[in-house]
Structure formats: C-alpha cells, structure tokens
Amino acid sequence: MPIPARYSRVLPAVLALCAGLAAPMVGPTAHAAPIARTAQPRTGFEESQGARWTSQAEEAAFLAGVDRVGGRLSMRTVGTTGQGRPLRLVRIGSGHPTANTMLLICSQHGDEPSGREACLITIRDLAMAGDSATRRFLDRTTVLVIPTANPDGRAADTRGNADGVDINRDHIALGTAEGRAMAAVIRDEQPDVVYDLHEYGATPRYYDKDLLALWPRNLNTDSAVHGEARTLSETYVRPAAHEEGYSSGTYGIWTDPVTGEPVKQVAGDGQERILRNAAGIKHSIGLLVETRVDARTDAEEQDPALNSRRRVDSQLTALDGAFRFVAERRTRVEAATGRARLAGFTDRGPVYLGGADNDPATPDQTLADPPCGYRLSAAQYADVRDELALHGVVSLPLGPRGLDGAYVPLRQSQRQLVALLLDGRAAYHLTEGQPRTRC
C-alpha cells in the first residue's frame, strides 16, 4: 500500500521519500493501482495489495527492517500475552523531555485489523521520512505506538484475547496482560493524546458512515481535556475524513438519513473501563476512531482487497487529522493535560459514579462531598496493590510492607480514579474501601 498524498499537509517527507515509487492510495471513489515494490520495508498487507492482513511474523520482520534503516525508532516489549506473544511498544521521535506525547493503541479487538495496518504504515512513514518538516514535528512530538494491542486475538481473528476477554472493557480491573501493559505505558509515559483505532459493522441508513469518532464521555474527565478531545474529533479527525471524500459521524449515535438528526444512542457511554474514558480520567486527550467494515460498493463486494484498502485508507486519513491537531494545538494540549494532572491535589468537587457528558449523573451517581480517602484492610491491599500501582494511584501502606493495610488519599493526581476504584458504589470498583471523612 503506497503512502497517501494527503500526508503532504503534515508530513511532506513522505512524498519526497517515496516519489515515483508507489501509486496513489485508493480513496473512497478511486480504484487501487498495483503497488510497486521498493527497497523500503513493506507490510504483508502492502505486499499483497490488501489481499491479506500482515501476519505477526511479518510484523516483527517489518519493524526490525524499519529500525535498521529508519534511525528514529526504538522498540521494547511491555508485556507478554497468555499465549506467549510479545506486546511491543514502538517509540518514534527525539525523546526530548518537553515534547508532546501521542500514544496510538492499534486493534484492541483482534478481528478489527485495519487500525493495526495503518499504525504499521505510520511507523514506517515517520521513522523513514527525511524532510525538515517531519524532523521538526518529531523534535517536538514523541509518537508511541502499540501496533498490535491484542496479538492472540489477531492470530485467532477474534474480538477478545486468548481467554475471550474484551480488553477494551479491562481498563479498570486490569485482569488481562494486555490491559496491564497499556495501563503501565499510560502511567509511565503520561501521553497527552491516546488515540484508539477500531472498526465497526454498519446498520444501513441509520449508522453507516465511513468513519466514526468519539471522545471521553465520562464526567470525571477534566473540562479542558474534554474540550480538547472534542476538538480533536470534530475539528480535525472528522474534517480530515471529509476532505478525502469520506463520510463521518459520532460513534454510538444513530442518525436520521434525511435530516441527519440523532435518533438514538446505541453505544458510546461513559463507562470508565473503556479506554477512551479511562484515558480522559487519567488526564489524556482520548479519542476512539472506528472505520466501516462493510463493503460500500459492488466493487468492494466483488473484491475484498479493495474493501480492505479503503478501510486502511480511512484510518490513515483520520490519523492525518490527529497529527495536525498535535502539531497545531500543542500549547493548548500541554496546558490542558498539565493542569488536569495537578488539579487533584486541590480539587474538592464532586466525583461521578455514572452518567456521561450527554447523560447527567443522578444524585445517587454523584459523590457530592467525596471522602478524604479510603482505608483498605491488609487482605484488600494485598489483592489490589498491583492494580493501584499500574493505574498510577498513590497508596500509603500502614505498618511494615502494608501488613496493617493501606490508606489511599483522594488528594493526588488520580483523584477521581481513586473513588472509581475503591468506592463500593462505583460500577467497576476493585474492592470496597472504607471511606474516611476526616482529613
């Protein structure tokens, strides 16, 4: 699969790097030209012109090849799946401490492969680009990529992991190796943007856009972070899709095919265990992006490779908008995420145990006067101490090595998350701590 010309708006190096070597990407109304072989590392998807998805052996060889010739890339293993497959984290950029950090989480659901292919292509494009604009971008931006967030599911072509668990519902409990690895990366890297790539099945007439996007709806997301996430979706990602002729909509919202008005909500709530919401609660600008799996045309019905190329191209189009967002709004992004990470030390406001930005929390879903913290027994602390640490929650052990339990104060960066993890009224709490009202 060639590099799309639209990257010239943000990453003009891509064109210079590959000039004359590849045909244009297939767009929503175009047909794909044959893909020329080049000296660049290429994915299995590219080599087959979209006839098959990149295998995991090909992914490993591809990343090693990019690493050899790209010069800007480093990799490490951040976890191992139940079936022994590595969870890789790719880092691209200068590593400068003042750089913005953008984390791409690719194909949490193993049967949604187009995001993974887009991530692999993006890794190469960034690592091998040679122009000054891309160098400046990467001097100021660290791009982190987990190219295959669910390797066991990808190998089996299943939504869940090897144990059948939907890892995009595991960002609170952290019961899976995949969820734990992602939590550790978010804790350690503190990304400004967490961008989550998925696919969806259309419901014709009401829910069949080429691309859907959704920000964190959880009410515990800092207001400035929430605002930037909506801007990322509505001012950058979706318009980028429109510029390339793709239709777009809001994930989870059916719309009237004539008026375009919302009909009903079928997904996309404020559950804290979903990555886009967990990212917002943890003070990152989260965004879920989903591209349409179903064939759009008779040609796509007859040629599955054409359908696959369109799916990957729409992911790349959306990523183009996300890169523009980071490049153009880095100061606002840094201010929003930086202030949010400090707010928990002085915040005395409510914590919400339910509701969403389009569904106000009820009184029984609202901790209007949250406790100072939660006391955990020794047994409780032993059960959840690792998960608290992976979430970046500070706990204060009581007695030697926590033999008398622990106290978890709300006065910390992850203030809202503490209550969601330890209050018995929270839907997905890890354990029921004893609220302490005297500070």
Q: For the segment 396-435, what is each residue's pLDDT rounded down to a tens digit?
A: 999 988 899 999 999 999 999 999 999 999 999 999 999 9
pLDDT of residue 244: 97
Is the Cβ–Cβ distance between 22 and 3 less than 8 Å? yes
Structure confidence at residue 72 (pLDDT): 86
5-339: CATH superfamily: Zn peptidases (3.40.630.10)
Give the pLDDT of residue 305: 98
Instruction: Output the pLDDT for position 3.
Output: 34
Please choose, from the candidates 223, 307, 292, the residue with its C-alpha nearest in 3D space to the C-alpha of residue 251.
292
Domain ranges for the chain? 5-339, 349-436
| Tens place of pLDDT per residue across the chain (439 aa) | 333 433 333 444 333 333 332 333 333 333 333 333 346 899 999 999 999 999 999 999 999 999 998 778 999 999 999 999 999 999 999 877 778 999 999 999 999 999 999 999 999 999 999 888 888 999 999 999 999 999 999 999 999 999 999 999 999 999 999 999 999 999 999 999 999 999 999 999 999 999 999 999 999 999 999 999 999 999 999 999 999 999 999 999 999 999 999 999 999 999 999 999 999 999 999 999 999 999 999 999 999 999 999 999 999 999 999 999 999 999 999 999 999 999 999 999 999 999 999 999 999 999 999 999 999 999 999 999 999 999 999 999 999 888 999 999 999 999 999 999 999 999 999 999 999 988 8
Question: Which pTM value belongs to this model?
Answer: 0.92
| pLDDT score at 1 | 33
Q: Identify the CA nearest to 384 among candidates 425, 419, 429, 414.
A: 429
The Cα–Cα gap between 264 and 411 comes to 38
Instruction: Please tell me the predicted confidence (pLDDT) of residue 20.
Output: 30
pLDDT at 16: 35
CA atoms lying within 13 Å on the CB side of residue 418: 28
